[in-house]
Copies of this chain bind each other. A is one copy, B any other.
Amino acid sequence: QTAPSAPPTRLGLCAACHGPSGHASMPGVPNLAGQKLDYLRHALRQYRDGRRDVPVMRTAIGPLSEAELDALARWYSMQSPQPQDHS
């Protein structure tokens, strides 16, 4: 599994809430950095088919192809997570 060096083209769509490297800045939004790839794929499928009924995610994912989704999942799973800031 070679690390994708360049960010996926659609990264901006996700980065708006999850941050470009998966450190979420918005309340209620999960960190994605270093998350398990198969879990990210699972969650994305559930957002896409509505089993996870989160309109903003369904809208964001709607126009993406399977390949684009997978590249985004791989990107975030490769990012190094940050210890929580507990200030």
Contact = CB atoms under 8 A, between A and B. Distances in A.
B77 A3 contact: no
Interface residues of A, number: 27
Majority DSSP secondary structure for residues of A touching B: loop
Contacts of A30: 35-36, 39
Interface stretch (A56-64, A65-73, A78-86): A78-86
A69 B78 CA distance: 29
Given A28-B42, A42-B28, A34 B84 contact: yes
Contacts of A3: 86
Given A28-B38, A51-B53, A80-B83, 20 more contacts: A1-B86, A24-B36, A27-B36, A28-B36, A28-B42, A29-B39, A30-B35, A30-B36, A30-B39, A31-B36, A31-B81, A34-B82, A34-B84, A52-B52, A77-B84, A78-B84, A78-B86, A80-B84, A81-B81, A81-B83
